[in-house]
Amino acid sequence: MEDQIIIEAEELTKKYGTQIAVNHLTLQIRQGEIFGFLGPNGAGKTTTLLMFLGLTEPTSGKVRIVGSDPKREPLRVKEKVGYLPENVGFYDDMDARQNLRFIARLNRIPDKVSSSKIDELLQLVGLFEEATKKVGTYSKGMRQRLGIAEVLIKEPKLIFLDEPTIGLDPDGTNRMLNFIRSLSREKNITIFFSSHLLDQVEKICDRVGIMIKGNLVAIGPIQELAQKKLGVGKEHYTLEELYMKYFKEA
């Protein structure tokens, strides 16, 4: 099961009018991987995510997510896939538990099952003490952690994280990254980590893909890419050097 392919995209293209947002994207991601999806703002990262989720229809090309086509069987994909959007939103007049219960209900989890699970998840993300506060009063970091809890409640096989650490303080960022890593290692959840914060990606990702202006210009383990691009035998490299090199060439 270790090598099962979770995301498979083939020649995936999305055009808005004449503008090409994503240009013939082809990639494969295996189960349990943490995949870093890099690129400047407006490179088409979010559009790619939305196509993977079936929230946007691709102009052409094929996608298979956990064995299903998000266009044909959107519900099957959404059952198994969690998505944490950038700046996740909640119903601010409800408390954390009510928000989680609502999402659990939408995922057909009966209240009896979900109530113990909700407590468990709130413990896990460290919001148990604040569970009865209205989400409107939550800080940015707390909202992000609640977002993770919300994604985990459906026990996904694959999680899409869109800039999950943006706006978090250094401590919060570190905790979030460690948490993401533990999800992958302990629960074997595949993580698709979209970000433009290179140091974070370098810390936790097994493989990266670099997207610039709608094109996937590089894909592979960081070390491999570095050897290819910066020359064999170079001992000290950073992802930033690598990224800037690709960025200038594009």
Partner 1 sequence: MHGLFTLFRKELEDHFSSVRFLLISALIVMVGVIIASMVGMSIQEESKGMAKPTLLFLWLFTSTGKLFSFVQFIGFFGPLIGIFLGFDSINRERVSRTLSKLASQPIYRDSIINAKFLAGMTTIAIVLVGIVLIISGLGIRLIGVVPGSEEVLRLVIYVIISILYISFWLGISILFSVVFRSTATSALASLAIWIFFSFFVGLGAGFMADAVAPVSQSGTNVDPNVLIRHEEVQRTISLASPMVLYNDATTTILDPTRKTTRGVILMGPLERLSLSRFQNPLPLLQSVIIVAPYLITIVAITFLCFGVCYLVFMRQEIRTV
Binding residues for partner 1, rule: CB under 8 A, are 46, 50, 53, 55-56, 74-76, 78-79, 81-83, 85-92, 102-103, 105-108, 150, 154, 162
Name the residue nearer to partner 1 (CB basis): 46 or 173: 46
Q: Find the shortest distance in angstroms from Cβ 158 to partner 1.
A: 12
Q: Find the shortest distance in angstroms from Cβ 160 to partner 1.
A: 9
Q: What one-character-per-residue DSSP string does the chain give?
A: -TT-EEEEEEEEEEEETTEEEEEEEEEEEETT-EEEEE--TTSSHHHHHHHHHTSS--SEEEEEETTB-TTT-HHHHHHHEEEE-TT----TTSBHHHHHHHHHHHTT--HHHHHHHHHHHHHHTT-STTTTSBGGG--HHHHHHHHHHHHHTT--SEEEEESTTTT--HHHHHHHHHHHHHHHHHH--EEEEEES-HHHHHHH-SEEEEEETTEEEEEEEHHHHHHHHH-TT-----HHHHHHHHHHH-
Name the residue nearer to partner 1 (CB basis): 98 or 227: 98
Name the residue nearer to partner 1 (CB basis): 75 or 244: 75
Q: Find the shortest distance in angstroms from Cβ 14 to partner 1.
A: 11
Q: Find the shortest distance in angstroms from Cβ 232 to partner 1.
A: 41
Name the residue nearer to partner 1 (CB basis): 81 or 239: 81
